[in-house]
Amino acid sequence: MFEHIFTSRSLLAAAFVATVGLAGISAQAADKTLTVYTYESFTSEWGPGPKVKEAFEKTCGCSVNFVSVADGVALLSRLKLEGAATKADVVLGLDTNLTTEAKATGLFEASGVDVAALEVPGDYKDDVFVPYDYGHFAVIYDTQTIKNPPQSMKELVEGDPSQKIVIEDPRTSTPGLGLLLWVKSVYGDKSPEAWAKLKKRVLTVTPGWSEAYGLFTKGEAPMVLSYTTSPAYHMVAENTDRYQAAAFSEGHYIQIEVAGLLKNAHDKELARDFLKFMVTPGFQDTIPTNNWMMPVSPTSQPLPDAFGKLVSPSRTFLMSSDEVAENRKAWIDEWLAAMSMN
């Protein structure tokens, strides 16, 4: 009898310990946090962030913590400032113009993601950075205000100064840097003169894309630097074709956005799982109608019809990341000098 009671109590105790242990494991899994540095428009309520967070958390037994800054170039600046002490596990929102500088920080390591099957213009491949979307930069204009939009970079630079454009700062913004490189691609050594002329049309320079596009849609200026895909948002979400992209005869500069794994990520397996998730339909489905860019791998749904009505650039510009790293400071100094001239 005593032995039976002892055995029963032992079994109950063992069961209790097992239950507590399982609960502890479950709680530990739920306590796992993935910290992702990205840009503000990604984490906005209409951006991909909320859907990406929900979809990944269903599979990871973790919590995704997005930390956002104004724009992509600001991400790299923050990483350089924080160094090895950064809390980021993954950085999402750099682009190929910045990858050489990002690697030079020594903060990143190989992603472990197979990118061979991804469909990226120029067949971009990298063992450190994972591409997740792309789009061509474009001047977006309000058709109710501008009846004859610029049809080339030359027409933009030399056009009516009363028709203003909002642009982004190349020191903090990947679109701003993209415009800088677009102008350099078209004008080369004559870029300072082009900027001096274009300055007359610039209403203001914003830190990031969100501020610039917000001013445009509020009617502060009839043009803004954005993407050829931006009109799709208005066609799909607002059922209007009022805002359109100007097709430039010289061609358009492309942006390929990437994500990377930090060497000091506190849970590298979790971080790699997220990077692998980024090229699956669970992530890629959010890109066309939330980030309003082009996906790099198949989605579970076809693209909306609006994407078939977008400007298709006659030529694509893209400098190597090494060339940008070598010249970015000098070219920004050129831009600053031109934009500060009276």
pLDDT 10s digits, 94-140: 999 999 999 999 999 999 999 999 999 998 999 999 999 999 999 99
On the question of a common fold for 33-134+256-309 and 135-253+312-340, the answer reads yes
pLDDT in tens, 209-244: 999 999 999 999 999 999 999 999 999 999 999 999
User: Measured between alpha carbons, how far is residue 18 from residues 8, 73, 147, 320 in Å?
Assistant: 15, 50, 73, 57
Q: Are 208 and 172 in contact (CB under 8 A)?
A: yes
Q: Are 103 and 94 in contact (CB under 8 A)?
A: no
Number of residues that this document lists for the chain: 342
Q: Are 265 and 89 in contact (CB under 8 A)?
A: yes
Q: Where do the structural domains in the chain lie, given as residue ranges?
A: 33-134+256-309, 135-253+312-340
Please tell me the distance from the alpha carbon of residue 144 to that of residue 313, in angstroms, as a whole number.
Answer: 23
Q: Which amino acid is at 291?
A: N
What pLDDT is stored for residue 22 in this prediction?
A: 41
Packed helices 268-277 and 49-60: angle between N→C axes, nearest 10 degrees: 120
Asked whether the CA dihedral 90, 256, 288, 42 is positive or negative, the reply is positive
What pLDDT is stored for residue 31 in this prediction?
A: 75
**CATH number for region 135-253+312-340:** 3.40.190.10
Please tell me the distance from the alpha carbon of residue 281 to that of residue 301, in angstroms, as a whole number.
Answer: 9
pTM: 0.89
Is the domain spanning 33-134+256-309 CATH 3.40.190.10? The answer is yes
What pLDDT is stored for residue 30 in this prediction?
A: 53
What pLDDT is stored for residue 341 in this prediction?
A: 80
Q: Which residues of the chain have pLDDT under 50?
A: 1-29
What pLDDT is stored for residue 24 in this prediction?
A: 43
Q: Which amino acid is at 189?
A: D
